[in-house]
Amino acid sequence: MKVLVLNCGSSSVKYQLIETSLEQIEANADVVIAKGSVDRIGTGSAVHTFQPAGRAKVTESGEILEHREALTQIVRMLTHAEKGVIASPGEIDAVGHRVVHGGEKFTASALATPEAIAAVEACVPLAPLHNPPNLRGYEAAKRILPDVPHALVFDTAYHQTMPPVSYLYGLPYVLYSRHKIRRYGFHGTSHRFVGWRSRQLLGRPREETRLVTCHLGNGASVCAIDHGRSVDTSMGFTPLEGLLMGTRSGDLDASVVFHVMHEEDLTEHQVTTMLNKHSGLFGLSGVSNDMRELLAEEAKGHERAKLAIDLFCYRLRKYVAAYAGAMGGVDAVIFTGGIGENSPAIRSRSLAGLEFMGLEVDEAKNAAAIGTEADVSAAGARVKTLVIPTNEELIIARDTVRLVAGAENP
């Protein structure tokens, strides 16, 4: 089956065309036929980048007003006589959509029935910035490819197995029962993928593994996976909670918000922007939200770049230890995301001090593991340290195939 995987943001569409089936999933033999993205939607200088597998990259730019126009371009590119990879849109068998928030309604991926779409719309107040572009992408794709099944794969669904002690805040319970104020967690597709892949690499059944997965990108979160299920994760009601991130503060005493609003005479919007866009690595360092730049500045002696990196690693170390404690032990710690996959320094600095738990990194193996799957544990370490590049698109394509086939989603 050829599945078109779509990830629609407010001004971008990322996509992949993936050939997969129940048999290919079993054999881990799915094939990426092409991938690409359309960025700067809504401007006169939108950029469409198309990468057919094994062939040269194609880049086009022009005016693209909204998501439907972007998707029309994508299908045109996929079916282009010379540049394309399929003869007609009829070769696309199904579409898999990334959706950020599925609330408590979605505990797994789902086919996009009218009821399911209404339920995603009902989650818009929980994710006002993310669900609307996801829905716009779905509406556009449904118009362009009306005769194939569409599936919805949620960032939150994987964390719906968290127990109440993990997902509730210490607030009046009525806020949960009335307004569903609770921790949802995000990056679920990524944590699920690296969790699955690590069990394959370790050759262990899900019943016998306790994992801590660290998705470290511009947004960052940690997940405790026990028996293949998420039992805790560091992002909460929104992606603001938890680790220090590129521009987000992560964990914070809520009283700071009111104090700062009062002292600096800030509006709700200004303080939300401050916490989400001007904090984290960027706010602390005053230099950049990009870990590569921060590491380069630190090497030149920039003190606040060093402070920001140290805080990032320290908070991650606390979460790794806390989640091992929450599960009563841990068998492997997995690093993924732009920083987790590519920065040996951050991996090793974050785990330093956790030798008492059996975590020990082999520095040579760690230094060599950049953007590739690798076991970077020291010989004899009781707890494995793995690097696994994430692949959210693959999970979306596979869930779509299983839903269409009526097979169970693991």
Binding footprint of ligand AMP on the chain (CB under 6 A): 217-218, 246, 290-292, 295, 337-339, 342-343
CA–CA dist 295, 343 (Å, integer): 10
Tokens of 182: 């609770």
Tokens of 81: 């006589």
Give the DSSP H/E element, type plus range, for residue 275.
helix 268-277
- Residue whose CB is less far from ligand AMP, 150 or 187: 187
DSSP-derived pairing of the beta strands 150-154 and 43-52: unpaired
- Supply the minimum distance, in Å, between the C-beta of residue 344 and ligand AMP: 8
CA–CA dist 334, 214 (Å, integer): 6
- Residue whose CB is less far from ligand AMP, 134 or 336: 336
Give the DSSP H/E element, type plus range, for residue 359.
none
Comparing CA positions, the residue from 320, 356, 318 lying closest to residue 335 is 320
DSSP-derived pairing of the beta strands 13-19 and 31-39: antiparallel
CA–CA dist 182, 275 (Å, integer): 19
Q: Which residue is catalytic, options 30, 155, 232, 362?
A: 155
> Binding site for ATP: residue ranges?
14, 215-219, 290-292, 338-342
- Residue whose CB is less far from ligand AMP, 145 or 339: 339
Beta bridge partners of 17: 4, 34
- Supply the minimum distance, in Å, between the C-beta of residue 217 and ligand AMP: 2
Say which residues have a Cβ less than 8 Å from residue 264's Cβ, sequence separation at least 6: none
Q: What is the 8-class DSSP label of residue 376? A: -
- Supply the minimum distance, in Å, between the C-beta of residue 294 and ligand AMP: 8
- Supply the minimum distance, in Å, between the C-beta of residue 244 and ligand AMP: 12
- Residue whose CB is less far from ligand AMP, 14 or 402: 14
- Supply the minimum distance, in Å, between the C-beta of residue 292 and ligand AMP: 4
- Supply the minimum distance, in Å, between the C-beta of residue 290 and ligand AMP: 4
155 among known catalytic residues:
yes
Comparing CA positions, the residue from 319, 368, 318 lying closest to residue 343 is 368
CB 331 within 8 A of CB 319: no
- Residue whose CB is less far from ligand AMP, 134 or 289: 289
CB-based burial label for 322 (10 Å; 0-12, 13-18, 19+): middle
Q: Which residue's CB comes closest to ligand AMP? A: 338
Q: Half-sphere exposure (CA, 13 Å, Cβ side) for 4?
A: 30
Give the number of residues written for the chain: 410
Query: Following CA atoms 43, 45, 46, 47 in sequence, which dihedral angle do they give, to the nearest 10 degrees?
Result: -170
Three-class DSSP category at 34: strand
- Residue whose CB is less far from ligand AMP, 156 or 285: 285
CA–CA dist 316, 344 (Å, integer): 14
Catalytic residues: 155
